[in-house]
Structure 1
């Protein structure tokens, strides 16, 4: 686990909004759909890097959901059925999750405990990220993704 600071990220992708227990199946489905439509997105920084973004908590309808995205240099046009967001530069506690996507909650528990143990403050109302560097290389039951939990 480590602390990193990332610059602002301009993202284009698909927003997923569903009941909480359905995200585990809906997010991978949206990722497949985004990959099929990747050619429609202009100025993609790294087409192999998938970035998931979300606000941790039920604060408002605008913040509800999970954004399955790729980073772009500039948001010039957003393809039909997609959305764009800008995640500001922030400080994150980071943990690499390796294993089934159904076990990601356990990795978050470990990360949250590490944050508490290191006297950091979680910022649930900020954007949190999940960055997968080799998008599409993992099997359905095995993912490797870095969990970025916003802290101060």
Structure 2
């Protein structure tokens, strides 16, 4: 685990809302669609970097879901069927996950234990991120992603 601080990020992408057990199927599908539509998004900072954003605790309907996105310089125009999100400057505990996406929960459990051991406090009502520098091909059996859990 490492601790990092990331500056504010402007994200544009596709919001996925589905039953909890379906995210392992729907997120890879949305990332394939986003990759195909990447040319429609203006000012992409790093086209090869996929950023997932979500709240751990959903208190409202508008906070529910998972945002499959890319970072942009400025949110000027959002293509039809896409959404934008501004993630403020935040501090994160980070751990890499390699393997099937259905095993990501095990990596999160390990990360949460390390956060607790290091006496950090998780911020459940803040944006959490999953950042990958490989888009993959929709194959959920092999992903490589850095898990960014927001901490105080």
Fold similarity call, TM over 0.5: yes
Matched residues, number: 152
Structure 1 residue 62: Cα displacement? 1.1
- What SS does the corresponding residue of 1:62 show, helix, strand or coil? helix
Structure 1 residue 77: Cα displacement? 0.2
RMSD: 1.1
Contact kept in structure 2, 1:12 and 1:41, CA below 8 Å? yes
Structure 1 gap segments, 5+ residues each: none
Structure 1 residue 139: Cα displacement? 4.8
Distance 1:112 1:77 in 2: 37
Distance 1:58 1:75 in 2: 24
Q: Report the equivalent of 1:63.
A: 63
Q: Report the equivalent of 1:9.
A: 9
Q: Report the equivalent of 1:49.
A: 49
Deviations for 1:64-117, whole angstroms, at most 9, x for unmatched residues? 000000000011100000000000000000000001011000000000000001
Structure 2 gap segments, 5+ residues each: none
Structure 1 residues 63, 138: CA separation in 2 closer, same or farther (over 3 Å shift)? Answer: closer
Distance 2:80 2:12 in 1: 11
Q: Report the equivalent of 1:102.
A: 102
Distance 1:138 1:36 in 2: 12
- What SS does the corresponding residue of 2:120 show, helix, strand or coil? coil
Distance 1:55 1:140 in 2: 22
Contact kept in structure 1, 2:24 and 2:140, CA below 8 Å? no
Q: Report the equivalent of 1:142.
A: 142
- What SS does the corresponding residue of 1:81 show, helix, strand or coil? coil
